[in-house]
Amino acid sequence: MDLYLDGITHSYGDTDVLRDVTLQIPQGMVVCLVGPSGCGKSTLLRFIGGLEQPGGGQVLQVGAPPADSLNPLTYVFQHFALLPWRTVEGNVSLVLEDHDLPRERVQRIVADVLARTRLSDFRKALPKQLSGGMKQRVALARALAVNPAVMLMDEPLSALDSQTRELLMDDLVGLWTRQPFTAVYVTHNLVEAVRLGHRIVVLSRRPGRIREVVEVERPLGERGRGDPELERIQHHLWQAMRDEALAADQELVDA
């Protein structure tokens, strides 16, 4: 299933947030949205998953999601959004409970996604016992459990320290390599964008418009730190964003 954003335009009151964003999200591809703070990239992600409605334009699903997908458009949130009163496996099974699945199927899915995110030993732990990186892996396991057609990731690594972020990037690359998924990945971090994105969409500052689309040809599994090709792309992205970011920083929030 592909996604097609058709002329998304939105404003909060008098403030234009997004203007005429048209974008194709093909199956099996990780599309990164980058842009200065306040450019509406998280808002755009909420439109894509149907948590908010745009003022103009529409988000289209092209083709049907796989039949066994329980929740085609699935989010991974910046602050994990785990229920603190449920264990690791309880948090994963939460999203399966409303689907009338037989018991053993639920157990099989939970065991499978916890194994894929290396959490099998922590299934009975409560979120308060987990490190930030583990919490985000639980959220990732929960997202994988519903077999999404598209993962909508809203700054998933931004609440983590840089070492943990590095480890989780490897985890994400590993997950994608073993079983390619489609994702829209919102980030302000250009390192993440060049490591994880097949296609990087640069948005301008408010009102957000597509400034540039950069394709990264190198396969995810072959990208490493200090790769000169990636460094070059990252440098290019930063040049494109620098003035926008500077200008965005000078704006009053309520202007």
Closer residue to other proteins, CB minimum distance, 95 or 248: 95
Shortest spacing between CB 98 and other proteins, in angstroms: 5
Q: Does 156 bind other proteins (CB under 8 A)?
A: no
CB 37 within 8 A of CB 203: no
Closer residue to other proteins, CB minimum distance, 60 or 81: 81
Name which of 92, 84, 149 is nearest 116 in CA terms.
92
Q: Does 64 bind other proteins (CB under 8 A)?
A: no
Shortest spacing between CB 218 and other proteins, in angstroms: 32
**Contacts of other proteins in 220-239 (CB under 8 A):** none
Using CB under 8 A, which of the segments 106-114, 121-129, 215-223, 230-238 binds other proteins? 121-129
Q: Does 146 bind other proteins (CB under 8 A)?
A: yes
CB 57 within 8 A of CB 8: yes
Q: Does 53 bind other proteins (CB under 8 A)?
A: no
Q: From residue 212, how far is each of 60, 128, 168, 203, 244 by CA, in Å? A: 22, 41, 27, 7, 13
Closer residue to other proteins, CB minimum distance, 49 or 57: 49
Sign of CA dihedral 237, 154, 158, 207: positive
Report the C-alpha gap between 172 and 211 in whole angstroms. Answer: 27
Does residue 36 have a cis bond before it (omega within 30 degrees)? no
Q: Does 74 bind other proteins (CB under 8 A)?
A: yes
**Hey, which residues does 186 pair with through a beta bridge?**
33, 154
Closer residue to other proteins, CB minimum distance, 97 or 243: 97
- Among residues 102, 128, 163, 222, the one that binds other proteins under rule CB under 8 A: 128
**Hey, which residues does 32 pair with through a beta bridge?**
185, 200
| Contact positions vs other proteins (CB under 8 A) | 49, 51, 70-71, 73-75, 77, 79, 81, 83-86, 94-95, 97-98, 126-128, 142, 146
